[in-house]
Amino acid sequence: MKSTDVEQVLGKQRLRSLQAGSVLRVGVVIIMIGAMLIGTDPKRWPTQAVLLSVYAFVTVGALIGAFSSPSHLFSSDSPILTLALVDVVAVFGFKLLSPGGYIPLLVMALLPRMVAVELSLRRAATVLACSLAVFTASVLLDPVIAPRLGPAVTALIVLIYGFICGTALLVVFFRLRNVDEMVRLTASREELLAETMTASEAERRQISESIHDGPLQDVLAARRDIADFLKVAPDAPLDHALASLHDASRQLREATFELHPAVLEQVGLAAAVEKLASVASARSGIAITTDIDYPDANDVDPILFGVIRELLSNVARHSRASTASVKLAVAHDIARIDVADDGIGVSGDAAARRLAQGHIGLASHRARVEAAGGTLSIIDEPIGAHLRVELPLRR
């Protein structure tokens, strides 16, 4: 199971692997050119030059692609594997065209380091095994090197090269272990987030139900008794008390709705946000408009509702605005919330000061959004404040 975060990290690792391999490949081309000019027969230069030209062309293309293409294009390990195989073929071909050359043989020692950027253990093992076989064949079949060095030294060179290949394979292995650990930590974080969401919503539900079934019912009963008494004997103080109880019951109903809106489960997030904006507008006197395009229910709905509730609460308390807007839409499995107003505005420094002064509501929701893989950011506007939340939906 891979989350969006894990896929993004893997994509960045693939990109960095391609970038590292591209830089190393430039060094290999330079060394191969030096080996051709110094350590091989000039009669073989034309064929070697053809091979090096093709390899240099691939090298330049890979270098440009690795440092100019966006990371989302590298959604698989195939480019890394393909280039690794090209490296093996190019270096082996160069060695075949350079019989009796020690420097071309040394160029092959760079292959394990280049394959070490491979992200798949099985693929890396295959390429390294091929590289070791090719190196061994190059040493044993060379008409000059093996007879001159002797069996013992030749075997030692092959063993050293095998050790280098094994070291490269260990690099891939430990890198994959780190990736697996990252996947486990991500899964653990998601489970913890799910448990936290469940516990938080359960607590809000419990408080909402306690208020609804306790104080609200007492207030409603007292209001009903006074209303019944006033029908028999009108009294001005009791009229005032009845109005106060009416306001108290309205506030309690709004509190139960904001704590845990039943409408969120019954008819969805869109209706809950509409009701929330209506309540906030009536309470604050700010004209709040909504633009909602959110068709399907999702597991992140409680987080989205909580963030919108906090943002509207901040608008009512701090913005000094006359109008505000709430937009909610979904694009490419990303839910986006935009809450804007025409008030005094807020900057990143002001938000930091509020946090330092103990205003932790928005900070806690930002932490919750980020834990779910989303972002909460302040958009610069010439007038007023504009906060945006982007949160991946959960499948």
* DSSP for 299-368, written as a single string: TTHHHHHHHHHHHHHHIIIII--SEEEEEEEEETTEEEEEEEESSS---HHHHHHHHHTT--HHHHHHHH
What are the residues facing 322 on neighbouring strands?
none
- Decide if 67 is inside a domain: yes
Angle among Cα 193, 198, 200 to the nearest 5 degrees reads 90
Residues 88 and 175 in one domain: yes
| Other beta carbons within 10 Å of 124 | 27
Q: Tell me the pLDDT tens digit for each residue of 311-352.
A: 888 888 878 889 999 999 998 888 999 999 998 876 656 655
Residues 55 and 172 in one domain: yes
Residue 117: pLDDT band with limits 50, 70, 90: low
Q: What is the mean pLDDT of the chain?
A: 75
Highest mean pLDDT among 11-25, 64-78, 88-102, 151-165: 151-165
pTM of this structure:
0.46
Q: Which residues contact 139 (CB under 8 A, 6 or more apart)?
A: 105, 145, 146, 154, 157, 158
Residues 169 and 270 in one domain: no
Show the domain range for 282.
Answer: 265-392
Q: Tell me the pLDDT tens digit for each residue of 171-217.
A: 888 877 877 777 777 666 666 655 665 566 666 665 655 565 556 66
Of residues 61 and 192, more confidently modeled:
61
Residues 171 and 278 in one domain: no
Residues 269 and 161 in one domain: no
Residues 142 and 16 in one domain: yes
Residues 286 and 181 in one domain: no
Q: Tell me the pLDDT tens digit for each residue of 266-318.
A: 778 888 888 888 888 887 889 999 999 888 788 888 888 888 888 888 888 87
Residues 164 and 272 in one domain: no
Domain count for the chain, please give it: 2
Angle among Cα 286, 290, 293 to the nearest 5 degrees reads 165
Q: What is the pLDDT of residue 149?
A: 78
- Decide if 211 is inside a domain: no
Residues 156 and 292 in one domain: no
Whole-angstrom Cα distance, residue 79 to residue 311? Answer: 45
Residue 119 backbone phi and psi in degrees, to 5? -95, -10
Residues 306 and 162 in one domain: no
- Decide if 275 is inside a domain: yes
Residues 25 and 130 in one domain: yes
Q: Tell me the pLDDT tens digit for each residue of 147-168.
A: 887 888 888 888 888 888 888 8
Residues 292 and 157 in one domain: no
If you ran DSSP here, which 8-state letter would residue 77 be given?
Answer: S
Handedness of CA 356, 362, 365, 370 (dihedral sign): negative
Whole-angstrom Cα distance, residue 47 to residue 40? Answer: 12
Place of tokens 């109903």: 253
Place of tokens 């350079």: 98
Crossing angle of helices 269-284 and 301-314, in 10° steps, is 10
Question: Domain boundary at 188, 211, 231, which?
Answer: 188
